Structure 1
Amino acid sequence: MNSIRYEQDAQGIVTLTFDAPGAPVNTMTPQWQADLTSCVERLYAEKDGVRGVILASAKDTFFAGADLKAVLELKPDAGAAVFADIEITKKQFRRLEQLGRPVVAMLAGTALGGGWELALAAHQRIAVDSPKIQFGLPEVTLGLLPGASGVTKTVRLLGLLESMPYLVEGKTLRPAEAHKLGLVGELVASADQLRAAAIKWIEANPNAVQPWDVKGHKIPGGTPSSPKVAQALAIGPSMLRQKTRGLYPAPEAILACMVEGAQVDFDTALRIESRWLATLVASPVTHALIGVFFDRNLVKSGASRPKDVPKWKASKVGILGAGMMGAGIAYSNAMRGVACVLKDVSIERAEQGKSYTKKLSDKRVARGIMAADKQAATLALITPTAAASDLRGCDLIIEAVFEQRALKATVTQEAEPMLAPGGFFASNTSTLPITGLATASARPDKFIGLHFFSPVDKMELVEIIKGRQTDAETLARAYDYVLQIGKTPIVVNDSRGFYTSRTFGTFVMEGCAMLEEGIPATVIENAALAAGMPVGPLAVLDETSLSLSVHVMAQTAADLAAEGKRFDKRPGEALVEMMVKEFKRPGRAAGGGFYDYPEGEKKRLWPGLKERFEKPGVAWDIAELRDRILYRQAVETLRCLADGVLESGHDANIGSIFGIGFPAWTGGAWRFIEAQGLDAFCARARELAAAHGERFTPPVLPAGWAPGQKVG
């Protein structure tokens, strides 16, 4: 056997150690499945001499689950083969738990997906009590279903309603949470205590059986016909459809599998589970979501980082500006143990910025996920100040002041001399070209853009922008820093708006262009939701501020005028300017924009939109509106790739999903193009251009073009 070691001690306890050769984690490869079958056969053949079985791992994690690369290779007609394959795996799990000997899973590391399903095949799970370890069934996030008995067993352990967050939403658990739910039977302080605890349990439970094999076992909380459960299930599907918009098949398949399986015996439920999995594995949405998983791993492994620069860590970071962005950046540093100096024009404003971290960490303390002493240590890492001299010795200084070129130049020149030898300077700008901002720097080669997204504590993406003179060491260190504070970096080349702001602008302005055409605002917002955007373009523009968009237009016009170029407003921009200047509705923060925000009530569209912009009888088609919303962003992504602003498809996909909310069901803006084929995508884009304007016209690309190849 290549992937499992079978070892029996003098007391008759067999340890099956999972150890895939040459791989960082264990996965359910065909070799592993064959080895598991051999191990189970041997256990049955030598059963008389076996007192118990321990499941262990030689890796840092317990088990990673399915081989996702193999899933990506499945064709649409693969359902029958997948059903047969998963049934073989489940048969071995079932034989293991019905061996008549106690089976214990020793969990020294994370067990997710198929790995957790393997752990559920044991009668007892003993885990190291570490906050770094995760358990659970997050298959739904990959468009899949926990098909190796995960749905069936979780329902029978927790009940239909209690198991929904862990199955339909894919919520994961720390060991202490799993223990509280009864999914883990015992916690130990360290890995070297696992084996003794496992042997002790085996000796105390020689006749262990699974709960569902006990005669008379009932599902906690009741079956689907129980009044409380039936009431919840009556509205469950509609609530789920409201969240998924019908774009994500997996959550609905999981719910159906849960309900159907709860009405039959255990073994029949397992077969139902296999059938539902077979309907999902070759789905385009599943492949797209798995593609996002691999793209994220590529990014986190440093795919866009210069390879020949040593790894680096920041010890002290300076942050200029303690407003919403600066305070969020300080929080992200402190929560990852990075000391930072938070500077503003007064100590009062700097202290107010620090209080943001206290406010967020207070919530964590109240929920019991952060100890009071840990909170105190975290807050101590943030030094509020009004003095530039306190920045002395920073490895990195991040400017996060207002989007005004002159102001950014002033704070750059004041703070940059405080950098430690070899330190670098970053601007948190969302639109202003980095090369232009770097003219205020004494070391433009050590100047870079770090575009954080609001709210920083929740948004994981950071867009790293290379100026024309930014050197490889600065880029590599910026990349390392973003990973150090737990964020996900993408790398782009310099241009106005970079990638995310430039493409986000096309989304919101397309919504405004539709409003200019007289299409009802409610139709526009719902078309965006139907396409899979998290929020409508008018609502999101209210949040980001219409006045900021007007300011950006003015700054762009001034910059272009200085270059001897003319600024022409795009469709939708004149409407935004009218909303701010004529109707005095600059956005939510200032009281209202496209929406009204009555105190204590839900927001609602401003009635003035209907009076001033909607045109009775204007024709619209929801499918066409959906295409306009998606294609406008995808065409801009293609232009960014052709222009060399983006250099890779993975940065385009991750940036579009996590930066601008492009629907995850597509796998990202570049994968959305790839899925149709470049020629077919461009043909549809040209149709939209003919109907709605040249903004939809795709770039002219040479034959054989691929991301990373700059055109022109």
Structure 2
Amino acid sequence: MNMRHISIAKGADGIAVLSLDNADESVNLVSASWLAEMEQAIADLTADAAVTGVILTSAKKGFMAGADLKLLVDGFETMDRRQAYAFSQRATAMHRAIEKGGKPWVAALNGLALGGGFELALACHYRILVDDRRAVVGLPEVNVGLLPGSGGTQRLLRLAGARAAVDLLLSGRAVKPDEALRLRIVDEVVPGAELLDAARSWLQSGPDPVRAWDRKGYQAAEARGVLVPETAVLFTTATAGAAKAGRNLPAPIAILSCVFEGMQLPFDRALSVESKYFARLLTDPVARNIIRTSFLSKQAAERGLRRPAGVPPSRVAKVGVLGAGMMGAGIALVSAQAGIDVVLIDRTSELAEKGRGHAAGVLAREVEKGRRTATDAAAILARIHATTDFAGLDGVDLVVEAVFEDTAVKAATTAKAEAVIPAGAIFASNTSTLPITQLAEASARPEQFIGLHFFSPVERMGLVEVIMGRRTSPETLARALDFVAQLRKTPIVVNDSRGFYTSRVFQTFIHEGAAMLAEGVPPAVIENAARAAGMPVGPLALLDEVTLDLPLKIVDQTIAEEGDRYTPPPGVPVLRHMRDVLGRGGRKAGGGFYEYPAGGRKHLWPGLAGHFPARSDVDGAQLTRRFLYIQAMETARCLEEGVLITPQDADLGAVYGWGFPLWTGGTLSYIDTVGIEVFVAEADRLAQAHGPRYAPSAWLRQRAARGEGFYPPAGATPCAA
């Protein structure tokens, strides 16, 4: 019997082999059509008296990757909680049909089994995993704001015990064969060539097809001592940790509740509890937001969604990096890691070699931690050639300029490079704020000039903001995106403006924090309110790290070039007072909003109270809302002005560029989650209380009047910006 997603071969020995083989995808995925085929196949195999046992395996390299995430996002848009519960129960019933069909099933896991794929394996009576480091198993649903919805929490609990189950479910981590065997979530680990023979041998041993939890009188070991101190401490500690780490994430608490309640119930009732919690999460916007941005939009961007059609694919064999500071050194490292030869140039040999030394240090740490071999690290470092000689740029395919953030310095560097590089080479600036069109005025070939804004530290940050100048050609954009793909980074594409998108919106966050200090908000409350929103670091701590010089330089340069057309951000007076009056310019200057004692932990500078007297009537929830609203409002302006082209790029840039909280899905997803009508009304209230920076534009008001968010409902035609 052959179907679209599976095939079945029945042997004369009574053993049937059911192979997962999704004809529509490179991996096996849980989908509605796959589920229907599995239901039919299980019923047929159960009814066939000639079949005595079933081997469940895969015809692909991996066993099963889990659910089709687009299906889950569509489910959020189309299902209410009752329908989501039924959706979970249908998959649960399919797994129970395997367990209770009276015939033993063995999962022969030939590769990774994650999420719904591993839940399917857990429903089998025995699991054999191939002995391969890449053949990991796990239940990572927490990472997308969900929990396993077809028995995973309850089977994991009963097989591995509460402590291991809680660890695996809350971390979402995948485990390798040796650990999976130790945790008892697989029963054997064998070489790949022996996998099917081992499965057949187990079936021929005459195993009992009744699971332990389906025997009369069964009770989970932990349930018998659910109120003993060890179990109480486990769940109390895990709940406190989940609440603190998750903040606005509902999945960790739901998982703990599901496990705690399920361990005290008969198995089928526990499965019903799991489905109820799954339905609650699936119909919560947090899961939708996380999946849409961190998986669907991210994967689409990495697959070249924004790449102009009709331009032949390209690869960079040699790249020039101008400037060997932290950014330039990081760009050189990731380029060399991608197999590209790098010419790293700075004004002195010492500076150029220092940049190469940064790469050497990162590689050495990777070798020390076992993430890379010494031979591999040496080969990467050998691709980086540090020099002061621009003649080394001969033959490059692309240049990335990462020199001092000054228009004149960048112009001089551009001219020196273009005197050497081939006529067809692309010139990219890593500027974070200066308009690309303005920088391209120094170029003899502005059509080949583009912005590539990397984020620090480059070796760890996955986003690259690609900025189109007014004269940048589609071919240049395509080739730049090909280079970003070579580096295995995630691109967003934006149009030119001062600060582009990410730097422009990020500045609203740090300046809002400084403005709150001037308003009399205690500094600790400011920092805590930002973290309560889900920001990774408070604005005052961030200002110390970037130094107060940087935002003030951006402000001063904009004033010089735009004059009265520019309204400085509200936090500028505080920054000037801190740096120019108090001499506290940030961490590099010895201290700023924080003190940095030698050998001790940093802490807020006590002297702030004497210069910015604090009030006691502060609403922390209102501060949290302000941080989210000011960033979302500036993002909406970027979309209105055409700096942003798509809401997907906006949300990717927010989450992966400066750490806007993932639970929101990004700045524009946040507006949709709040509801655009509610957002505009609240923004008006904030504008009256705190100034016109919160005021919605006529364009945003019109969208709100039409009830038109930034993402269309499932199945609808996308709205124009």
Give TM-score scaled by structure 2 length. 0.89
**Structure-1 separation of matches of 2:128 and 2:502:** 45
Query: Does the residue aligned with 1:16 lie in a helix, a strand or coil?
Result: strand
Cα 1:444–1:194, aligned 2, differ >3 Å: closer, same or farther?
A: farther
Partner residue of 1:535 out of 509, 530, 537? 537
Is the Cα–Cα contact under 8 Å of residues 56 and 105 in structure 1 kept in the other structure? no
Q: Which residue of 2 aligns with 1:669?
A: 667
**Structure-2 separation of matches of 1:299 and 1:6:** 37
Q: Do residues 287 (structure 1) and 285 (structure 2) align?
A: no
**Structure-2 separation of matches of 1:629 and 1:140:** 26
Letter in 1 for 2:272: R
Q: Which residue of 2 aligns with 1:625?
A: 623
Q: Do residues 473 (structure 1) and 471 (structure 2) align?
A: no
| 1:333-363 Cα shifts (integer Å, max 9, x gaps) | 2333333233333344333323333433344
Q: Which residue of 1 aligns with 2:715?
A: none
Q: Which residue of 2 aligns with 1:579?
A: 578
Is the Cα–Cα contact under 8 Å of residues 331 and 357 in structure 1 kept in the other structure? yes
Cα 1:518–1:345, aligned 2, differ >3 Å: closer, same or farther?
A: same
Q: Which residue of 1 aligns with 2:676?
A: 678
Query: Does the residue aligned with 1:422 lie in a helix, a strand or coil?
Result: coil
Letter in 2 for 1:603: K
Is the Cα–Cα contact under 8 Å of residues 56 and 108 in structure 2 kept in the other structure? yes
| 1:298-329 Cα shifts (integer Å, max 9, x gaps) | 32232222122222222222222222212222
Query: Does the residue aligned with 1:22 lie in a helix, a strand or coil?
Result: coil
Q: Which residue of 1 aligns with 2:713?
A: none
**Structure-2 separation of matches of 1:314 and 1:135:** 36
**Structure-2 separation of matches of 1:447 and 1:553:** 25
Q: Which residue of 2 aligns with 1:14?
A: 16
Is the Cα–Cα contact under 8 Å of residues 493 and 644 in structure 1 kept in the other structure? yes
Moved more, 440-449 or 117-126: 117-126
Is the Cα–Cα contact under 8 Å of residues 131 and 191 in structure 2 kept in the other structure? yes
Letter in 2 for 1:481: F
Moved more, 333-342 or 655-664: 333-342
Matches for 1:228-247 after TM superposition, within 5 Å: 228-245=230-247, 247=248
Matches for 1:61-76 after TM superposition, within 5 Å: 62-66=64-68, 68-74=70-76
1:150 Cα offset (Å): 1.8
Q: Which residue of 2 aligns with 1:256?
A: 257
1:75 Cα offset (Å): 6.2
Q: Do residues 274 (structure 1) and 275 (structure 2) align?
A: yes
Is the Cα–Cα contact under 8 Å of residues 647 and 709 in structure 1 kept in the other structure? no
Q: Do residues 506 (structure 1) and 481 (structure 2) align?
A: no
Cα 1:710–1:203, aligned 2, differ >3 Å: closer, same or farther?
A: closer
Moved more, 47-56 or 650-659: 47-56
Cα 1:248–1:356, aligned 2, differ >3 Å: closer, same or farther?
A: same
Is the Cα–Cα contact under 8 Å of residues 654 and 668 in structure 1 kept in the other structure? yes
Q: Which residue of 2 aligns with 1:517?
A: 519
Query: Does the residue aligned with 1:394 lie in a helix, a strand or coil?
Result: coil
| 1:668-701 Cα shifts (integer Å, max 9, x gaps) | 1112222344344223222221221111122221
Cα 1:360–1:182, aligned 2, differ >3 Å: closer, same or farther?
A: farther
Q: Which residue of 2 aligns with 1:596?
A: 595
Is the Cα–Cα contact under 8 Å of residues 329 and 356 in structure 2 kept in the other structure? yes
**Structure-2 separation of matches of 1:120 and 1:611:** 62
Is the Cα–Cα contact under 8 Å of residues 585 and 591 in structure 2 kept in the other structure? yes
Letter in 1 for 2:575: V
Give TM-score scaled by structure 1 length. 0.90
Matches for 1:376-395 after TM superposition, within 5 Å: 376-395=378-397
Query: Does the residue aligned with 2:424 lie in a helix, a strand or coil?
Result: strand
Query: Does the residue aligned with 1:607 lie in a helix, a strand or coil?
Result: coil
Matches for 1:322-337 after TM superposition, within 5 Å: 322-337=324-339
Q: Do residues 129 (structure 1) and 132 (structure 2) align?
A: yes
**Structure-1 separation of matches of 2:221 and 2:409:** 64
Is the Cα–Cα contact under 8 Å of residues 107 and 128 in structure 1 kept in the other structure? no
Cα 1:209–1:364, aligned 2, differ >3 Å: closer, same or farther?
A: farther
Q: Which residue of 2 aligns with 1:170?
A: 172
1:170 Cα offset (Å): 1.8
Cα 1:107–1:420, aligned 2, differ >3 Å: closer, same or farther?
A: farther
Q: Which residue of 1 aligns with 2:607?
A: 608
Cα 1:172–1:338, aligned 2, differ >3 Å: closer, same or farther?
A: farther
1:428 Cα offset (Å): 0.9
**Structure-1 separation of matches of 2:615 and 2:73:** 50
**Structure-1 separation of matches of 2:172 and 2:567:** 47
Partner residue of 1:654 out of 652, 655, 669? 652
1:400 Cα offset (Å): 1.5
Query: Does the residue aligned with 2:397 lie in a helix, a strand or coil?
Result: strand
Letter in 2 for 1:301: R
1:90 Cα offset (Å): 2.2
**Structure-1 separation of matches of 2:560 and 2:456:** 26
Partner residue of 1:637 out of 626, 635, 638? 635
1:182 Cα offset (Å): 5.4
Query: Does the residue aligned with 1:490 lie in a helix, a strand or coil?
Result: strand
Matches for 1:130-145 after TM superposition, within 5 Å: 131=134, 135-145=137-147
Q: Which residue of 2 aligns with 1:42?
A: 44
| Structure 2 unaligned blocks of 5 or more | 711-717
For these two proteins, the number of residue pairs brought into alignment is 704
Letter in 2 for 1:678: I
1:502 Cα offset (Å): 0.4
Q: Which residue of 1 aligns with 2:149?
A: 147
1:657 Cα offset (Å): 1.4
Letter in 1 for 2:250: P
Moved more, 308-317 or 332-341: 332-341
Is the Cα–Cα contact under 8 Å of residues 76 and 284 in structure 2 kept in the other structure? no
1:69 Cα offset (Å): 2.6
Cα 1:240–1:676, aligned 2, differ >3 Å: closer, same or farther?
A: closer
1:204 Cα offset (Å): 6.3
1:649 Cα offset (Å): 0.7
1:282 Cα offset (Å): 0.5
| 1:502-536 Cα shifts (integer Å, max 9, x gaps) | 00011111111111112211221122122222221
**Structure-2 separation of matches of 1:153 and 1:506:** 47
Moved more, 262-271 or 203-212: 203-212
Q: Which residue of 2 aligns with 1:161?
A: 163
Is the Cα–Cα contact under 8 Å of residues 71 and 282 in structure 1 kept in the other structure? no
1:654 Cα offset (Å): 0.9
Cα 1:222–1:706, aligned 2, differ >3 Å: closer, same or farther?
A: closer
Cα 1:487–1:226, aligned 2, differ >3 Å: closer, same or farther?
A: farther
Is the Cα–Cα contact under 8 Å of residues 76 and 288 in structure 2 kept in the other structure? no
Matches for 1:172-251 after TM superposition, within 5 Å: 172-173=174-175, 178=180, 183=185, 194-196=195-197, 198-199=199-200, 202-203=203-204, 224-225=226-227, 227-245=229-247, 247-251=248-252
Is the Cα–Cα contact under 8 Å of residues 224 and 233 in structure 1 kept in the other structure? no
Give the % identical residues: 43
1:267 Cα offset (Å): 4.1
Is the Cα–Cα contact under 8 Å of residues 344 and 352 in structure 2 kept in the other structure? yes
Cα 1:295–1:203, aligned 2, differ >3 Å: closer, same or farther?
A: same
Matches for 1:313-462 after TM superposition, within 5 Å: 313-420=315-422, 422-462=424-464
Cα 1:106–1:589, aligned 2, differ >3 Å: closer, same or farther?
A: farther
Query: Does the residue aligned with 1:403 lie in a helix, a strand or coil?
Result: coil
Partner residue of 2:556 out of 549, 554, 557? 554
Moved more, 379-388 or 469-478: 379-388
Cα 1:636–1:75, aligned 2, differ >3 Å: closer, same or farther?
A: closer
Cα 1:218–1:706, aligned 2, differ >3 Å: closer, same or farther?
A: closer
Letter in 1 for 2:462: E
Is the Cα–Cα contact under 8 Å of residues 149 and 273 in structure 1 kept in the other structure? yes
Q: Which residue of 2 aligns with 1:303?
A: 305
Is the Cα–Cα contact under 8 Å of residues 430 and 453 in structure 2 kept in the other structure? yes
| 1:55-95 Cα shifts (integer Å, max 9, x gaps) | 22457663432554355334697333333332332233233
**Structure-2 separation of matches of 1:675 and 1:682:** 13
Letter in 2 for 1:275: K
**Structure-2 separation of matches of 1:42 and 1:444:** 66
Is the Cα–Cα contact under 8 Å of residues 31 and 71 in structure 2 kept in the other structure? no
Q: Which residue of 1 aligns with 2:116?
A: 114
Is the Cα–Cα contact under 8 Å of residues 96 and 121 in structure 1 kept in the other structure? yes
Q: Do residues 689 (structure 1) and 687 (structure 2) align?
A: yes
Letter in 2 for 1:638: A
